[in-house]
Structure 1
Amino acid sequence: MSFLWPGYLWFLLALAPLPLAYAWLLRRRGRLAQRYGRLQTEGAASLRRGWRRHLPPALFLLACAGLLFAAARPVARVPLPWARTSIMLAMDVSLSMRVNDVKPTRLEAAQAAAKSFLRELPRRIEVGLVTFAGSSQVAQRATLDRDALAASIDAFQMQMGTAVGDAIVLCLAELFPQDNISLGEMTFGGNAPRGRSLDDKAKPPPRQITPVAPGSYDAAAIILLSDGRRTTGIDTLEAAKMAADRGVRVYVIGMGTLDGDIAAPDGMAIYMKLDEPTLREVARMTGGEYHHAGTAEALHGVYEKLGSRVQVQPRENELSGLLALLSALFAITGAGLSVLWFGRIV
């Protein structure tokens, strides 16, 4: 635990004399009770109340201590659900996903595991879907509608090529629309010829950002699933650096064979081979994790683990409000008990 305003903790020393002052008042009251008969009777009755006479003052003392402690603005890391969380699923739909080394096929196993992941994810977490092969598309913007996501997953269309870096960049463009990230500009640059409607407005240039610590952005995560290696598009590690600079974790799932030894036409095996070193580096650079899922059961297990990790995140939270609320409850309780037992606030 740390404090934003630690200097206020010195005010806690002002509470130290209060118990001594309370004890002095009790002794003074006892001496007065011995001097006057009526007060002696009341004092004896008060003494018979035992611990009740001390509880309200003790609660008031705790309330004062809690308020002073809150004034120092304590901060602690506590595991809390993300208030607003967006998860982007980036799924490979290249032709190699039709291979059946993962039963029934890689694509069908990935689809089933993804839909199971969505069912188990808390409803308050928004999920978006990006598909990639030779190009990348946003199949579904971040939404709470699980049925729409499942329908998008079922509607995958396979293509040639594997643009892993494009998928990461497109996920970032969805998560940070204010950054004006343009996949087309990054791919073709400003000199590539392309038509534009008269109604189209010129896009503003990308916003310059200040890099943050990898994995420090708690409001979003990317889950990337691929079975091959980049054959086109933006360099995978360049895209990973963009995610790392924004603090977004990329959890990578590599599926399929590691050696490329699959029955396929000559020359195709190299494209079937999983580029595990690059995918591991993507996870390392962004503060995420890499998992290899060689079977449908393992793939499902990976999604389960990811679900448990992205639901709750330890975060720095200021506890002043909570302490102030507890202090108010102590004060109200002390006042209520005092009125109930003694007919006045003592």
Structure 2
Amino acid sequence: MVFLWPSLLWLLCLAPLLVLLYVWLLRRRKQAAVAYSHLALVREALDASRPWRRHVPPLLLWLALVALLLAAARPMAVITLPSRDQTVILAMDVSGSMRATDVQPDRITAAQEAAKAFIAELPRHVKVGIVAFAGSAQLAQLPTQNHEDLVKAIDSFQLQRGTATGNGIMLSLATLFPDAGIDIAALGGRQSMRPRSMDEVLQQDAAKGFKPVEPGSYTSAAIIMLTDGQRTTGVDPLEAAKWAADRGVRVYTVGVGTLQGETIGFEGWSMRVRLDEETLKAIAVRTQAEYFHAATAADLRKVYETLSTRLTVEKRETEVSGLFALAGALLVLMAGGLSLWWFGRVA
């Protein structure tokens, strides 16, 4: 905890002085009671069962003073609050391997249903965008608060060949940062899948005066990438993850399917699909996010429930002087109330 006006903390030196003053007053009161011994006996008889009561109201007043002095110094603390202006990009794998049925009824259907449930649980102020990637990446839905449009975009997925996980990340970043110079049309093409090298991208950033920020420090947006296979084409996902990390964007990765993989057939060809956990974990680590494995539809729903909770709150350094002032006021009221209840006076 830090204080905006730390110089006022010197006033806390008054607190021990008040304790000494209270002890002195008690001794003086005891000496004065000797001259009126008959009154002292009456008071002792009344307070004999609960002698501690006489000290509770002064103690509460002392604590109230400490709280109010701390409030005057304007304390700042990191607390968890509802996020503001949050944008979430769902980058979803629509490659042919999502036909596999090791996740019931199949991977793509389970992913679609979990994504729709995730969107339904989000607060309305959170914008969601959808990127679909296979051999190329396409922006299926611009970030919006309209849940109906998002559901339509998810239901319209068409499975394709190839898995360009890096392109999915890059297109998600291009959606979050439209002025960053990423050629969305080129990324969506099927020819080279990599119109420029990452070195060229970084050189362009340097020419614009861009300075990398702390990974995970951009709290206004996040990317959730769901995939079930290995990258077969396009931008290296680890290079794309570095590009995201330099802008502070967290990329949460979700691996769908069994670790041993499965052989599937489609339009006369067959392939074995295996989850590339190593790369997905590396992407999450590089961007200060997390990796989740979903081997079943139930696992996938739980992953999205967890992400929904984490993405709708954020930790911010906030002034909490009001909380200390409130605590001080409540302590004053408690001290006065107990004094009236026990002794019939405020003293």
Other-structure match for 2:301? 300
Matched, 1:20 2:20: yes
1:1-346 equivalences in 2 (<5 Å): 2-4=1-3, 9-29=9-29, 54-71=55-72, 74=75, 76=77, 78-121=79-122, 125-133=126-134, 134-143=136-145, 145-176=146-177, 180-184=179-183, 187=186, 208-256=209-257, 261-264=263-266, 269=271, 272-311=273-312, 316-334=317-335, 346=347
Question: Structure 1 residues 334 and 83 mapped into 2: Cα distance closer, same or farther (>3 Å)?
Answer: farther
Q: CA deviation at 1:47?
A: 9.7
Amino acid at match of 2:138: S
Could you tell me whether the CA contact under 8 Å between 2:228 and 2:274 is conserved in 1? yes
CA contact under 8 A between 2:137 and 2:171: conserved in structure 1?
Answer: no
RMSD value over aligned CA atoms? 4.0
Which deviates the most, 318-327 or 119-128? 119-128
The amino acid that maps onto 1:167 is G
After the TM superposition, which of the residue ranges 99-108 and 50-59 deviates more from structure 2? 50-59
Alignment length (residue pairs): 323
Q: Could you tell me how far 1:224 is from its partner in structure 2? A: 0.4
Cα distance 1:186–1:242, how it changes in 2: closer, same or farther (>3 A)?
farther
SS at match of 1:139: strand
The 1:71–1:245 alpha-carbon spacing in structure 2 relative to 1, beyond 3 Å, is farther
Whether the aligned pair in 1 keeps the contact of 2:221 and 2:249 (CA below 8 Å) is yes
Q: Is the 8 A contact 1:96 1:227 kept in 2?
A: yes
How far off its partner does 1:25 sit? Answer: 2.9
Q: When the two structures are superposed, what TM-score results if normalisation uses the length of structure 1? A: 0.72
Go from structure 1 to structure 2 and tell me whether the alpha carbon gap of 1:13 and 1:101 turns closer, same or farther (over 3 Å shift): same
Moved more, 241-250 or 286-295: 286-295
**2:137 aligned partner, one-letter code:** S
Distance 1:263 1:95, change over 3 A: closer
Task: Identify which range, 92-101 or 308-317, moves more after superposition.
Answer: 308-317
Q: Secondary structure at the match of 2:253?
A: strand
* Contact 1:88 1:142 survives alignment (8 Å): no
Q: Is there any run of 5+ residues in structure 1 with no aligned partner, and where?
A: 189-204
Tell whether the 8 Å contact from 1:187 to 1:233 is kept in structure 2 after alignment.
no
Q: Secondary structure at the match of 1:157?
A: coil
Measure how far apart 1:285 and its partner are. 0.9
SS at match of 1:292: strand
1:191 equivalent in structure 2: none
Normalising by structure 2, we get a TM-score of 0.72
Alpha-carbon distance change, 334 to 93 in structure 1, aligned in 2, over 3 angstroms: same
Provide the secondary structure at the position in 1 that maps to 2:263.
coil
Q: Do 1:88 and 1:223's aligned partners in 2 also have CA atoms closer than 8 Å?
A: yes
CA contact (8 A) 1:86 1:126 kept: yes
In structure 1, what is the Cα distance between the partners aligned to 2:280 and 2:293? 10
Give, in whole Å, the separation in 2 of the partners of 1:127 and 1:148. Answer: 10
TM-aligned CA distance change 1:42 to 1:22, over 3 Å: same
Deviation of 1:24 after TM superposition, in Å, equals 2.4
Counterpart of 2:155, as a letter, is D
Q: One-letter code of the match for 1:16?
A: P
Tell me how far apart the structure 2 counterparts of residues 221 and 43 of structure 1 sit (CA, whole Å): 72
2:131–2:137 CA contact under 8 A, matched in 1? no
1:59 Cα deviation (Å)? 2.7
Change (3 A) 1:43 1:265: same
What is the CA–CA distance in structure 1 between the aligned matches of 2:297 and 2:30, rounded to whole Å?
Answer: 80
CA distance in 1, matches of 2:280, 2:70: 47
